Structure 1
Amino acid sequence: MEKILNKKMTQFAFFSMTASLFITVYEYPTFAMSGKSLIFFLLLCGICWFLPVSLCSAELATIEGYQEGGIYSWVGKPLGEKYGFASIFFQWFQVTVGFVTMIYFIIGTISYILGIPEINNDPMFKFISVVSIFWILTLLQLKGTETTSKLAKYGFSIGIVLPVILMFGLTIKYFLSGNQISNSFTHSSFIPKLNDISALTSFVLAYMGVEASATHFKELENPKKNYPKLLFILVLVGILMSTVGGAVVSMVLSGNISSNQGVMDAITKLISPGNISWPVKVLGLLISFGVVAQVSSWIVSPTEGLQFSATKGLLPKSLSKKNKNQVPVKILLIQAVVVTFWAALLTFGSGGSGGNIAFQAAISLTVLIYLSAYILFFVSYFVVVFKHKNLKRGFEVSGGQKVKMLVSVIGFIVSVAAVITAFIIPSSMSKESGKIYIILLAICFIITLSIPFVFYHFYSMPNKKKLEDNSKNQ
């Protein structure tokens, strides 16, 4: 992602950068499974989760002494270094799972337009495809991120925004031509039923990552006035694009919707039912390009926090080193190995049952890991509001302490609710598939939660003490 140094960031640049962090296409089929309820979920998560995260992170990011290290300082300063390290680990680690989710979508799309189902259905073929795509994109990063920053910008425009606009226009034409809205959509209700509440987890993911833009608060033109305004516009745009994309897939397709091929199924039905025509293939390639661009833009971004941890002695110092192109080679290679591990576990762990279990497990695990960081984030905000009222801020949630607590408590409750609902078997899964899904998700989540605390206890603390002793003896 392009960094604008020594000059103010325009409102459009800030908007584009933030939107590219969380607006995505690969979740539309997951949204579509909820029918009309997708509108309810997107409104709920947009207002009761997206805004609290954005507003609270804006305040934390502008407190004196909290700017360096991002969420490491936001959590570490109020709660202690151990929790700051855990939060930054979760923020990075969730991306390693998210990469698999995104590439699953790319593989499903390419498999569809090429007419080679084995790419998506055969576990070994799928695993090799995921690993190959990610390692190629990682190696491309070693020459610097300028090219991939541009790729991300254009990928968002022509790989996400353009396809959604075209899908909307094609849907209008489709229904004006006399086609009927699917029963899956018309027979669903706006208010979700109790057994559909597990979908909350996926809808929270629609807005995750937006807090990253708060670190650029000072670079924005007239930030105190423009930041809240841009947040409101981002909420509207995010809800609108996700609603349009999800609703199109839901209204056009009936029955079970494939998690990683649903978008292409909908596009095919809109353009040339029963025939994968060249316009379908072009749109598929554009969408794949958009997701590839998102993967590229995220490969280096989350490693900055790990580098900062290394400078504090919490990780080996060698991990903070960069090559001549300012790329942390060792961290990227470790990240690629971790992604390879997740790809193997999620692909083969689904028992060769096709794409849906692995895809849904990857999405849920991504959200659970990231939510672990957000829960720590909201707890730290509570502490700051109550115990550090007098710290200087460049921005703060208006309305006083009561409003601040109301905003953060709502965000915290939605975060906890999303964690709980992630362990409810989706109604679209069979009983047997649901068991595999829950076991796979629970094992991965428990292991992930323990990693930063075990690592901090057995490596970070002793290493930091060793560095401090060496410093005293010099």
Structure 2
Amino acid sequence: MKKQHTMSKFAFFAMTASLFITVYEYPTFAVVGKSLIFYLLLCGLGWFLPVSLCSAELATIEGYQEGGIYSWVGKPLGEKYGFAALFFQWFQVTVGFVTMIYFIVGTLSYALEIPAMNNDPVFKFLSVVGIFWILTFLQLRGTETTAKLAKYGFSIGIILPVLVLFGCSIKYFMSGHSISPHFTHSSFWPTKATIGSLTSFVLAYMGVEASATHFSDLEDGKKNYPKLLMLLVIVGIVMSTIGGSVVSMVLTGDISSNEGVMDTATKLISPGHVSFFVKMIGFLTSFGILAQVSSWIVSPTEGLQFAATKNLLPKKLAEKNANDVPVRILMIQGVIVTIWAALLTFGSSGSGGNVGFQTAISLTVLIYLSAYILFFVSYFVILRKHKTLAREFQIPGGNLVKGIVAGVGLLISIAAVCTAFIVPSTVPSSESHLYLISLLAGFIVTLAIPFVFYHFYARPKKKSAIIESGEQA
């Protein structure tokens, strides 16, 4: 029986866009001034475009559609590497959920004028956990719920606020206000002081490949998936450039990562007080990030569920409810996110907390980049050894162009890994050694986890399954 496609082109576009196009990164972009335009173009064209093109090709290779990055890496490089890539993709988002919801909490605290919501650790922890678990239980209703949230969240929670802020900024500057010296005096080209920001800009484009797990749900996926990814590249670069530039051009002095967008809205719309329209911007952007969290809750877990069917994880994890959702995996994920929320919220409130928080963020980026490095390496293996495999979409220009595209993406991934070890300005110089040692140790341990698990659980499990099937035969 042919599978009923459940997602329209716009629903798929909105859900994929909400995986990576987000408002909460704008203050981070704004810190580097005009260089944000350079970094967004570099990472958009030199990293996001290669990821999009390569994933579009891999997703349309016959037999590679199921499991997303697990199949893309596992089939050419070997099962354990596919499992590792899948683990890295999932693990990083368990921390990413907390940082995304931190932005929601900070924005709602600003809009509702309840400072304790963002400043009191207990209040903040309960808010983060409450929001995440509500969204998790909503996902139990199936992909249709996720698609609806993503569609409306992207339209009115990301596109609308950015357009409003852009329009208000034009009016603001036309009425005689000057552009922030922070923006005008900054360099378009990267400097020694801003090179460490490369990792943040790569992070801004991470996640587009996670939509591949919904490939089979998309209407005429083989035809529409590559086209939608190309459109996402353009929209992603334009939206991020506009949003980051507006924040950088309007704000002076230190830019708050949690409240930078709201500070910008206040200065543009009602300087000196939080007006009704500023609050509406806050509610809309919060809804947009909620949609992003919602999209991320299910996408990586579907890959884990596929791995469970291959005996790489306990088979009970593969069981789904009536709405085709892997409930046990979502519950385990929820517990892990709750633990992260406690560690980051209460750990960051004490001495050395900023080091712990920054280490956790940098670690997630490094782990995700590890998955992308495996992704590009697997593409090169396919390009060299499996070029005859049938595929609906290919990067145009032949093998030379394919090699250049994937090579640029791989080089930027490696460069981003290196810049992640540049100590951020938010970490006191007296604690820079602690930051680097913690980050390196955490990186090595996390890299080892999937390989150790595969060696001691998955490989013996698969061997016993093969023996059992042989005996039954």
**TM-score, normalization: structure 2?**
0.92
CA deviation string 1:68-103 (max 9, x = no partner) = 211111111111111010011111112211111110
**Conserved 8 A contact 2:69-2:209:** no
Query: Does the Cα contact within 8 Å between 1:159 and 1:290 map onto a contact in 2?
Result: yes
CA distance in structure 2 between the aligned counterparts of 1:55 and 1:9, rounded to whole angstroms? 21
* Cα pair 2:162 2:239 within 8 Å, conserved: yes
The letter of the residue matching 1:347 is T
Counterpart of 1:195 (choices 193, 199, 210) is 193
Aligned to 1:62: 60
Indicate conservation of the 8 Å contact 1:20/1:294, yes or no: yes
373, 376, 383: which is aligned to 1:375? 373
**Paired AA for residue 368 in structure 1:** L
Identify the residue that residue 364 of structure 2 maps to in structure 1.
Answer: 366
For residues 21-42 of structure 1, the C-alpha deviation after alignment (integer angstroms, 9 at most, x for no partner) is 2211110111111110000000
Distance 1:234 1:148, change over 3 A: closer
Separation in 2 of the partners of 1:466 and 1:180? Answer: 71
- TM-fit CA distance, 1:207: 1.4
Give the match for residue 292 of structure 1: 290
- Aligned residue for 1:166? 164
Distance in 2 (alpha carbons) for counterparts of 1:441 and 1:470: 43
2:145 to 147, 156, 161: 147
Q: State the shift of 1:133 in Å.
A: 1.6
Cα deviation 1:323-359 (Å, max 9, x = unaligned): 2232222111100111112222322333547997676
Q: 2:319: which partner in 1?
A: 321
Q: C-alpha distance in 2, partners of 1:436/1:171? A: 41
RMSD: 2.5
Q: 1:357 to 1:254 in 2, by over 3 A?
A: farther
Equivalent residues of 1:37, 1:191 under 8 A apart: yes
Counterpart of 2:331?
333
Judged with a 3 Å threshold, the aligned counterparts in structure 2 of structure 1 residues 178 and 361 are, in CA distance, closer, same or farther, namely farther
The answer to whether 1:418 aligns with 2:406 is no
CA contact (8 A) 1:10 1:221 kept: no
> What does 1:366-445 align with in structure 2 at a 5 Å threshold?
366-427=364-425, 429-432=427-430, 437-438=435-436, 441-445=439-443
Aligned to 1:210: 208
CA distance in 1, matches of 2:139, 2:12: 23
Identity %: 71
Please state how far the C-alpha of 1:456 moved relative to its aligned partner.
0.8
**Across the two proteins, how many residue pairs are aligned to each other?**
470
Cα separation, 2, equivalents of 1:262 and 1:392: 48
* Pair 323,186 (structure 1): closer, same or farther in 2 beyond 3 Å: same
- The answer to whether the Cα contact below 8 Å between 1:258 and 1:356 also exists between their aligned partners in 2 is no
Supply the distance in 1 between the matched residues of 2:348 and 2:432 (Cα, whole angstroms). 11
User: 1:305: which partner in 2?
Assistant: 303
- SS at 1:418 equivalent: helix
Report the equivalent of 2:106: 108
- Which residue of 1 is the match for residue 277 of structure 2? 279
Describe the superposition over 1:132-167 as per-residue Cα deviations: whole angstroms up to 9, x where unpaired.
221222123234343342122101110110000000
Q: Which stretch shows the higher mean deviation, 456-465 or 429-438? A: 429-438
Q: Tell me the distance in 1 between the aligned counterparts of 2:157 and 2:356.
A: 24
Match of 1:39 in 2: 37
2-structure distance, mates of 1:68, 1:150: 23
Letter in 2 for 1:315: L
Judging changes above 3 Å, is the alpha-carbon distance between structure 1 residues 145 and 213 closer, same or farther for their aligned structure 2 residues? closer
- Distance in 2 between residues matched to 1:359 and 1:267, nearest whole Å: 27
Letter in 1 for 2:66: E
The SS at the match of 1:69 is coil
**2:18–2:291 contact (8 Å) kept in structure 1:** no
Task: Tell me which residue corresponds to 1:349.
Answer: 347
Q: In 1, are the aligned partners of 2:5 and 2:219 still within 8 Å (CA)?
A: no
Unpaired segments ≥5 residues, structure 1: none
CA apart distance, 1:314: 0.6
**Of 348-357 and 104-113, the range deviating more from structure 2:** 348-357
Farther off after superposition, 360-369 or 16-25: 360-369
Contact 2:34–2:187 at 8 Å: present in 1 too?
A: yes
The Cα of 1:322 is off from its aligned counterpart by 1.2
Q: CA contact under 8 A between 1:259 and 1:359: conserved in structure 2?
A: no
Tell me if 1:73 matches 2:104: no
1:311 maps to amino acid: T
